[in-house]
Amino acid sequence: MILQFRDTLARDRGTGAANQFIQCTSAFLSWALDREWVEANAAARIGMLSYKPFPAWTKEMTREAIQTLPAHLSRVVVLALFTGQRRGDLCAMKWSDIQGNAVHVIQQKTGTELWIPLHPVLATAMEGWPRTSDHILTGVRGSAMTVYNVTRSMNDAQERGLLPKGFNVHGLRKLAAALLAEAGCSTHEIAAITGHKTLKMVEHYTRSVDQRRMAEDAISKVETGNWKLLETDL
């Protein structure tokens, strides 16, 4: 049963969540074993899965998804892309959280409080979104979307071929961080949007972007005057 739970989590939420489940379950059963509430720790010998992070969305697939996905799911993509938040925080956002040109977020996972400025593209898009609920994200029936609704809708879109398999909202969070890095934002500036407590994960998200930018800067600094090819070399 524990293996079934682990495998389901790995499929729906990634290997990181599956491994955390095994660690927590093993710790709990070890505590219960010490008190003779169980006869064995059934999770003790279950190994950790190889970590396979969810891939970041590309700009091209994101543009296509916004245009082709059902309206309620397209709104999820837009909101995730321009705020960089997790599923739970996206679903928790209310219209009343928008004050001036920013949205107020208290992240469910960490308790971090953020004020995220509304990008002009997001602000314009939101003007046409339905307001059938206090919450910004609503489903096909007009009620507030939950994390379960978002996950189910994403999985359904993948089954219908509207999205590549293996991509979820967390990959949009990665893309948001990468786009900020491409724009020249520092890791501290990116963390001010994503709400990461440490910069290690931000650096992980943006490493490829930073490498490319630094490589381009490095090549541009190489003195080329003494290395021009002779016409006979061409």
Mind listing the pLDDT tens digit for each residue in 29-87? 999 999 999 999 999 999 888 866 678 899 999 999 999 999 999 999 999 999 999 99
pTM summary value? 0.74
**Residues 184 and 126 occupy one common structural domain:** yes
Q: Is residue 228 in some structural domain?
A: no
Domain stop point among 52, 72, 87 = 52
Instruction: Tell me whether residue 222 is in a domain.
Output: no
The pLDDT value given to residue 227 = 57
The CATH number of residue 191's host domain is 1.10.443.10
Domain count, the chain: 2
Q: Does residue 232 fall inside a structural domain?
A: no
In a domain, 165, yes or no: yes
Name the residue range of residue 75's domain: 59-215
Domain co-membership, 2 together with 98: no
Mean pLDDT of 19-28: 94
**Residue from 211, 183, 172, 148 nearest 12 by CA:** 148
Long-range Cβ contacts of 85-89 (<8 Å, 24+ apart): 85/116, 85/173, 85/194, 85/195, 86/169, 86/170, 86/173, 87/147, 87/150, 87/151, 87/169, 87/170, 88/147
The answer to whether residues 64 and 104 belong to one domain is: yes
More confident residue, 50 or 229: 50
77 belongs to a structural domain: yes
**Statement to judge: residues 19 and 104 lie in one domain:** no
184 and 201 housed in the same domain? yes
Q: pLDDT per residue over 138-168, tens digit each?
A: 999 999 999 999 999 999 999 999 999 888 8
Residues 36 and 70 grouped into a single domain:
no
- Quick one: 78 and 145 in the same domain? yes
- Domain assignment present for residue 229? The answer is no
Same domain, 30 and 77: no
Q: What is the distance of C-alpha 23 from the center of its chain?
A: 23
Is 87 a domain residue? Answer: yes
37 and 147 assigned to the same domain: no
Residue at a domain's end among 52, 68, 90:
52
Full strand arrangement of the beta sheet holding 113-117: 98-99, 102-106, 113-117
Do residues 73 and 179 both lie within one domain? yes
Is 234 contained in some domain?
A: no
Residue 8 and residue 26: Cα distance in Å, rounded? 17
- Whether 69 and 175 map to the same domain: the answer is yes
Specify whether 41 is located in the same domain as 148: no
